[in-house]
Amino acid sequence: MTYNEALEKFKLLFENKMSEDEAKQFLIDMYQKGESATEIAAAAQVMREHSVKLPVPKDLQEKLIDNCGTGGDKSNTFNISTTVSIVLASGGCYVAKHGNRSITSKSGSADMLEALGINLNLKPTEQVKMLEDTGFCFIFAQNHHPAMKYIMPIRKSLTHRTIFNILGPLTNPAGVQKQLIGVFSPDYVEKIVDALVMLDSKRSMVVSSLDGMDEISIEGDTRAAFYDGIRVKEMIINPNDYNLAGKKSNLIGGDAKENAKITLSILDGEKSDRRNIVVLNAAAGFMVDGKVDDLRSGIEMAEYLLDSGKAKQKLDEIIKVSELF
């Protein structure tokens, strides 16, 4: 499909103007042929248009960054990207963290943040205030995409994934233009970064590890594509190059309370493989945000924020401010 053809199809889907059988067949056909970058971008545009947006001032919106994975990698790790988001905020980034409750794991980002004591029951205006005051807010996906109520029953009736397993990170309701996105398969790295370019992203990086994670892995190579606003550069990231190699098996998480304990341990200065993967992915986030020019500088920044206690202080601040609403 062309961009405009895909736009029209997804508008019908989001406005509940397709029959259930038509919608199901549309999603099946797209899955079987493989979604193109053009179709992904068009679907994301329509989903954005149908979302409940945050009233973010333009000067703040230009600063925003999100780091979010598609999920679906079945790695059963702790909440890596959510922990990374706190480190990014402690380094001066304005993080509009888009996420949800658990879908494919024991603990989604919302579950873990609640276990840490962060109040997530905020109105859009309060979310913006959180961003302004702390450099962080959580955007609860289920509260911002009401049109999904038409689509969820159809998704659940299918035995395989659909394009909606890809769209979440591309549909942040705060209008984020800088993103670090993890995808469940390296086959989608190029497609997603091309879709981001079509959606006028300012800076972005899409990553997928060859050992099956929607993160930059500490056990082997990760395929990445970095867009600096001008051109896309494909990269292979190997943790051995940064003395951050470790075992994927050491990253296994549990329920929300267990994952909250893991995050607190990392923020309290724990030296471990769990810290290593947070450092490596935070480095990529700082690079996307333009805080550093390369991963090595980003690693130094992330390690300083953890070792100095600034990351833990940022979490304490986020909890305290969220309780005021």
Q: And the tokens for 221?
A: 């190579």
Whether the CB-CB separation of 166 and 188 falls below 8 Å is answered with yes
- H or E element that contains 298: helix 295-307
Q: And the tokens for 86?
A: 């706190």
Estimate the crossing angle of helix 273-289 against helix 80-90, to 10 degrees.
Answer: 60
Residue-wise pLDDT tens digits, 259-313? 999 999 999 999 999 999 999 999 999 999 999 999 999 999 999 999 999 999 9
Any domain includes 103 = yes
If you average pLDDT over every residue of the chain, what do you get? 95
Q: Report the distance separating Cα 39 and Cα 45, nearest Å.
A: 10
Any domain includes 43 = no
Any domain includes 28 = no
73 band by pLDDT with thresholds 50, 70 and 90: low
Give the predicted TM-score (pTM) of the model.
0.95
Residue-wise pLDDT tens digits, 176-212? 999 999 999 999 999 999 999 999 999 999 999 999 9
104 band by pLDDT with thresholds 50, 70 and 90: low
Residue 138 has φ and ψ, to the nearest 5°, of -105, 130
Q: Which amino acid is at 95?
A: V
Residue from 104, 68, 80 nearest 207 by CA: 68
If you count DSSP H runs as helices and E runs as strands, how many of each does the chain have, helices first? 15, 7
Residue-wise pLDDT tens digits, 123-133? 999 999 999 99
Whether the CB-CB separation of 224 and 259 falls below 8 Å is answered with no
Any domain includes 50 = no
Any domain includes 192 = yes
Q: Residue 3 pLDDT > 90, yes or no? A: yes
In the chain, how many domains are there?
A: 1
Whether the CB-CB separation of 97 and 87 falls below 8 Å is answered with no
Strand-by-strand arrangement of the 222-227 sheet: 136-140, 94-99, 64-69, 178-182, 203-209, 222-227, 232-237
Whether the CB-CB separation of 209 and 220 falls below 8 Å is answered with yes
Domain encompassing residue 196: 64-141+176-322
Any domain includes 98 = yes
How high is the pLDDT of residue 71? 75
Looking at residue 212, which CATH number applies to its domain?
A: 3.40.1030.10
How high is the pLDDT of residue 197? 97
Any domain includes 301 = yes
Q: Report the distance separating Cα 321 and Cα 5, nearest Å.
A: 45
Any domain includes 216 = yes
- Cα dihedral angle (14, 16, 22, 25), rounded to 10 degrees? 30
